[in-house]
Amino acid sequence: MQTLIWNNLKTSEKMTALSRPAQKVGESIKQAVDAISENVARNGDGALFELAEKFDKVRLEKLTVSPEEIAAASGRISPELCQAIQQAKANIEAFHKAQQNQEIDIETQPGVRCQVLTRPIERVGLYIPGGSAPLFSTVLMLAIPAKIAGCKKIVLCSPPPIADEILYTANLCGVETIYTVGGAQAIFAMAQGTETVAKVDKIFGPGNAFVTEAKRQVMQAGTAIDMPAGPSEVLVIADEFAAPDFVASDLLSQAEHGADSQVILVTNSETLAKATALSIEKQLENLPRKETAEKALAHSRIFIAKSIEQAVEISNAYAPEHLVVQTQNARELLPFLDNAGSIFLGAYSPESMGDYASGTNHVLPTYGYTRTYSSLGLADFSKRMTVQELTPQGFQALAPTVMAMASAEQLEAHRLAVEVRLAKLKM
């Protein structure tokens, strides 16, 4: 990791130092995804069978996982892992149930009643990546709020063969339908619908560059998605009291996600920075995903700030997905932290806790989107409707205001809609 003294950098150098690894959705990826979209639209299920054999090297006989297959997969999960998943589920449920909306029903003035009603999104699709690290934890993060929100139809897609852990967790969370469909084709299948795969209103879940491009395309075509996303990232704010081994482990836990991940350390202590760099080298040697982490570290940074206050400013400028605060009084910084997907306060709150089981959601905006987007929550599986109801007295009292505003905007029909009712009341 490159170490930079923040105050020695020019403004342009600071911007460059805070930039992420370039996101490159190459023309070849876009062309490949375009072809997949056209194939799924034209051939439906036939395209899904064909692409599973091409990309996943699996010849499927059907797309839907049967209850018997789910039960068999669940029976292969160790009791220890079952218990761990159930504990995580309980915590995630508790946190997301606490987010349930209270109905708003007020009189803005006498006789003018306004309400906010919350309704679940009717049909949602969950995408869970497969591969060498099946993300069954993401099933918890997506399916639990979907169930709490009351979504009527919940479907899940994952590449074949689907890991036992994913099937067990999906069943535990009450997912009704699971399809052995992966990649960009799964996104298009859920967005468009096929003979087998149900069409949904909103798609959630992470994926590779092809999945990300597919989500971008279906969003432009009218299917909602959870959020825009880039490579994973973490920023750690640490002072001289932080444990270098703790800081190093937090940086490495994110670096092992992928070669395009980025990790940042901001500290007011050069001693801590040097000790952390040494600890990273030591811990790195024992990581199975060492090569991946090394690639991420190559475009990562250590910034030396003049103070913790300046470290907070740097963090807010970067707007990280994950923000770990390892300072002597971490909670005291909370009022000043404006841009982050999820914040981890104190030495014993590593990012791993939020990734799996503390209760918060690990689906977070990345690539600086935390300036405007929030971490995934119950509200993402719902929509709001406003209601207004006026009594004749309330209508009469508000009518002059509305007529004056409508006339000023030269919208005569708006004014007339009020005027005809006033005339009726005077009869």
pLDDT tens digits, residue range 110-146?
999 999 999 999 999 999 998 767 899 999 999 999 9
pLDDT at 25 over 80: no
Same domain flag for 316 and 298: yes
Residue 254 labeled ligand binder:
yes
Residue 362 labeled ligand binder:
no
Pick from 205, 56, 203, 55: nearest CA to 121? 203
- Identify the CATH number of the domain in which residue 411 sits: 1.20.5.1300
CB 207 within 8 A of CB 135: no
Quick one: average pLDDT of 31-40? 97
Q: Which long-range contacts (CB under 8 A, 24 or more apart) does 61-66 make?
A: 62/180, 62/196, 63/179, 63/180, 63/181, 63/196, 63/197, 64/177, 64/178, 64/179, 64/180, 64/196, 65/162, 65/167, 65/178, 65/179, 65/180
Residue where one domain finishes, among candidates 201, 225, 249:
225
Same domain flag for 291 and 265: yes
In a domain, 192, yes or no: yes
Across-strand partners of 263?
A: 234
* Range of the structural domain that residue 267 is part of: 230-372
Residue 388 labeled ligand binder:
no
Residue 268 labeled ligand binder:
no
Same domain flag for 168 and 235: no
Quick one: average pLDDT of 411-415? 98
Same domain flag for 335 and 238: yes
User: What pLDDT, in 10s, does the model give residues 279-328?
Assistant: 999 999 999 999 999 999 999 999 999 999 999 999 999 999 999 999 99
Same domain flag for 124 and 204: yes
In a domain, 146, yes or no: yes
Residue with tokens 């091409």: 54
Same domain flag for 272 and 126: no
Lowest mean pLDDT among 257-261, 332-336, 353-357, 395-399: 257-261
In a domain, 359, yes or no: yes
Same domain flag for 174 and 237: no
Same domain flag for 213 and 250: no
Same domain flag for 327 and 258: yes
In a domain, 77, yes or no: no
In a domain, 114, yes or no: no
Q: Model pTM?
A: 0.93
In a domain, 352, yes or no: yes
Same domain flag for 219 and 324: no
CB 87 within 8 A of CB 357: yes
Same domain flag for 237 and 359: yes
In a domain, 3, yes or no: no
Same domain flag for 352 and 252: yes
Pick from 46, 32, 55: nearest CA to 129? 55
- Identify the CATH number of the domain in which residue 138 sits: 3.40.50.1980
Residue 7 labeled ligand binder:
no
Domain count, the chain: 3
Residue 208 labeled ligand binder:
yes
Residue 232 labeled ligand binder:
yes
Output the CA–CA distances (angstroms, integers) from residue 374 to 71, 229, 298, 322, 363, in the order listed.
36, 12, 28, 12, 10
Residue 249 labeled ligand binder:
no
Dihedral of the CA atoms 207, 48, 66, 165 (nearest 10)?
A: -20
List, by residue number, the catalytic residues: 321-322
| % of the chain with per-residue pLDDT over 90 | 91
